[in-house]
């Protein structure tokens, strides 16, 4: 959109909605009347199909009892693998390389325990200083379990501006001392997309294993993990996959690593045909299923059945295109409507480097987020001064974006935010 000819009218927003081929998917979701939900990058909204598939799995428990493991519409014993098959197209992966299991952090512990094998001078782990804290906690704890001092063995690539990480700085840090790299696909604050293909190629040139945390990219943008040669990946399913709070996460393991023994073995690491032999020697699955640990969280998996069905129908390429259009439109509105109000756009403006949300900075951010909520616009605050706004391609409209920016303008003009303390709530 050309800013010089940008139409900031509500009428134009409605015109964009009329042309939107993905607009019908909004009717699939439960949307609170009068509320504009822009926090789908933290927790996606409930869809009617996710609700339906959850109820169907509950029904199988009621109807079959223990036989639900092998009977009913979605036999539980094979559900993680079946969901892996449905997830694989979103990742550009072979079906056997994907499994739905555990939580993001549990899966990350599994990947570190499996792939981090310090040897000789190659003992260090690399991450970035802007990554989500949970990932750093896992990396540090795994280093300590191996007897290393995280202060010495964990390299965190520094940000030049406090918002983004330059890929050149990551590549420069790939020394002969690094054994293992974990990076986000999309930085959770600024929404910066890292070039996974480039970084994987560079890591492998340096004989380093590399994996990605896909929490802020899966369901929002396409991936080609197998083509890029990525070694492993982990993700949650409650953001752009819209499968509910605490829903079951997933992991990807490149098939070239399938014979690698899981670092944290468990009952569900077993080959399916051997699992109930009850032997004390693990015969591991021959696919990504080997890197499961415990029994699948069946009721937390269930909403994902309906959610993935919606994503398949919408198409990840179409979702990405609309997401970029929504965020472009919102940035232009912000530039047009919020001049002189001391907002800084902290996300990349280049489409190739921007994920599914915008990141505004303002010294009164915590107060502004509270005022937005009072006005029925749901944002996400990130300390110390960040406001994340995520217009989701499946259920948000251009008119909602227009209304949200107008609400923000009103809050600033009328100084509504001043009645709140500039501190975050328990849940930011």
**295 assigned ligand-binding residue:** yes
What is d(CA 346, CA 340) in angstroms, rounded to the nearest whole number? 16
Contacts of 378 (CB under 8 A, 6+ apart): 35, 36, 37, 38, 39, 372
**17 assigned ligand-binding residue:** no
| Selection from 119, 227, 254, 122 nearest residue 177 by Cα | 122
How many other β-carbons are positioned within 10 Å of the β-carbon of residue 62?
A: 9
Fill in the DSSP letter of residue 245: T
Which two three-digit tokens encode residue 155?
């390299």
**132 assigned ligand-binding residue:** yes
**287 assigned ligand-binding residue:** no
Helix axes 10-19, 398-413, angle to 10 degrees: 160
**343 assigned ligand-binding residue:** no
How many other β-carbons are positioned within 10 Å of the β-carbon of residue 63?
A: 11
**235 assigned ligand-binding residue:** no
**213 assigned ligand-binding residue:** yes
What is d(CA 353, CA 389) in angstroms, rounded to the nearest whole number? 16
| Selection from 12, 24, 44 nearest residue 247 by Cα | 44
**238 assigned ligand-binding residue:** yes
Torsion angle, alpha carbons of 334, 335, 337, 341, to 10: 90
- Binding positions for pyridoxal 5'-phosphate are 104-105, 132-135, 213, 216, 238, 267, 295
- Binding positions are 104-105, 132-135, 213, 216, 238, 267, 295
């Amino acid at each position: 959109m050309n800013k010089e000819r940008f139409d900031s009218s509500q009428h134009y927003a409605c015109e964009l909605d009329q042309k939107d081929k993905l607009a019908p998917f909004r009717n699939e979701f439960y949307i609170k009347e009068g509320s504009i939900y822009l926090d789908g990058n933290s927790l996606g909204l409930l869809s009617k199909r996710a609700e339906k598939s959850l109820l169907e799995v509950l029904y199988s428990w009621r109807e079959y009892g223990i036989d639900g493991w092998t009977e009913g519409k979605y036999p539980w014993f094979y559900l993680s693998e079946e969901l892996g098959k449905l997830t694989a197209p979103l990742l550009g992966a072979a079906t056997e390389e994907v499994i739905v299991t555990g939580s993001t952090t549990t899966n990350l512990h599994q990947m570190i325990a499996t792939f981090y094998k310090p040897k000789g001078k190659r003992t260090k782990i690399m991450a970035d200083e802007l990554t989500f804290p949970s990932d750093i906690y896992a990396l540090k704890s795994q280093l300590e379990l191996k007897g290393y001092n995280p202060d010495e063995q964990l390299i965190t690539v520094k940000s030049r501006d406090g918002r983004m990480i330059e890929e050149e700085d990551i590549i420069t840090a790939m020394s002969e001392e690094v054994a293992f790299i974990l990076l986000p696909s999309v930085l959770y604050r600024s929404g910066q997309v890292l070039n996974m293909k480039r970084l994987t190629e560079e890591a492998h040139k340096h004989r380093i294993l590399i994996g990605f945390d896909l929490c802020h990219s899966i369901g929002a943008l396409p991936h080609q993990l197998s083509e890029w040669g990525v070694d492993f990946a982990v993700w949650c399913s409650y953001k752009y996959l819209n499968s509910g709070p605490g829903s079951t996460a997933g992991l990807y393991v490149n098939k070239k690593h399938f014979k690698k023994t899981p670092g944290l073995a468990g009952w569900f690491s077993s080959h399916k045909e051997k699992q109930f032999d009850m032997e004390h020697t693990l015969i591991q699955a021959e696919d990504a299923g080997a890197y499961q640990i415990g029994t699948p969280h069946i009721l937390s998996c269930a909403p994902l059945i309906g959610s993935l069905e919606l994503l398949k129908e919408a198409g990840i390429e179409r979702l990405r295109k609309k997401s970029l259009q929504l965020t472009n439109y919102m940035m232009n509105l912000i530039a047009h409507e919020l001049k002189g109000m001391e907002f800084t756009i902290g996300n990349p403006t280049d489409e190739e480097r921007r994920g599914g949300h915008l990141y505004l900075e303002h010294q009164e951010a915590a107060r502004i987020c509270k005022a937005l909520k009072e006005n029925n616009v749901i944002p996400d605050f990130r300390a110390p001064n960040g406001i994340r706004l995520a217009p989701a391609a499946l259920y948000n409209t251009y008119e909602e974006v227009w209304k949200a920016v107008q609400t923000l303008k009103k809050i600033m003009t009328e100084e509504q935010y001043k009645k709140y303390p500039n501190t975050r709530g328990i849940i930011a």
